[in-house]
Structure 1
Amino acid sequence: MAGIEANTPIPVEIKLHQKSRVLELVYEGGDSYRLDFEYLRVYTPSAEARGHGPGQETLQTGKRNVDLVGIEPVGTYALKLVFSDGHDSGLYSWDILYNLAKHHDELWQEYLNQLESQGLSRDIDTTSRPKSGGSCGHH
């Protein structure tokens, strides 16, 4: 996903609401979208979560209470979001953010359906790797 499409809307304002755990994107013309931190975190575009091809995604779990602790611009095309669970490798390009905003309800429902079908939880994190020990072959 190199660059962004010429017609991708770019937010004119980005507001971080720490108490309600929401990132608000305001677009030209007044369209406004509120994306909660958990939603942004579970749909991270990072390769470690998305894998390197269809079917290699790792379903993100236990992110209900995750906080967004930092936002860094990346050039003129993306934001790097830093989460309280240490995750910071997702680059959210303007087209990814707009897609997440426009399709929030169906994507969120899809996520909840996946959790349910796999017997996983928004409260129990099975995706973050323990910092030490463990012999599952990951490093």
Structure 2
Amino acid sequence: MSAPIPTKVHYHKQDRELELTYAGGESHRLSVEYLRVFSPSAEVRGHGPDSATLQVGKKHVGLANISQTGRYALKLHFDDGHDSGLYSWDYLYDLIQHRETNWADYLRRLEQAGASREPLGIEIKQL
């Protein structure tokens, strides 16, 4: 069974959240940090279950651009330069459905690694 296709996609820049609205009014907001650390790209997920790269320091990441890829996915261009990986409608809906479990697991892995969501050093952004 395929996931529903959003009827509207809206980036709330101030809150750094992507809102997906579906037919019937169902609406979900995902933080850009969550989307970034769970990027479907090989750079993040690796090429197998044991080769994923833990994403750290992404608490303040935002989106520089969003583009639709065909009728099946979004390409998210993050302001930290990451822009590989396509977020299919199925993958986005899976992220919505498993948000709490995914996030708890991510925080656990950060703690185990002695890492942080906070960026290292001085944050520099171009406007």
**Are 2:27 and 1:46 equivalent residues in the alignment?**
no
Residue from 61, 64, 85 that aligns with 1:66: 61
Separation in structure 1 between the aligned mates of residue 38 and residue 53 of structure 2, nearest angstrom: 10
Give how far 1:7 is off.
Answer: 2.5
Task: Look at both structures and tell me which one has the larger radius of gyration over its CA atoms.
Answer: 1
- Is 1:14 the equivalent of 2:13? no
Residue identity over aligned pairs, in percent, reads 55
Letter in 1 for 2:71: T
Letter in 1 for 2:4: P
- How much has 1:108 moved relative to structure 2? 0.8
2:26 aligned residue: 31
Partner of 2:125: none
Measured in 2, the distance between the counterparts of 1:124 and 1:20 equals 18
Name 1:117's counterpart in structure 2: 112
Aligned to 1:135: none
Unpaired runs of at least 5, structure 2: 121-127
CA distance in 1, matches of 2:25, 2:119: 37
Distance 1:18 1:101 in 2: 19
Runs of 4+ in 1 over 2 A off after TM superposition: none
Residue matched to 1:130: none
The answer to whether the Cα contact below 8 Å between 2:2 and 2:90 also exists between their aligned partners in 1 is: no
Using structure 1 for the length normalisation, give the TM-score: 0.83
Q: What is the TM-score when the length of structure 2 is the normalising length? A: 0.91
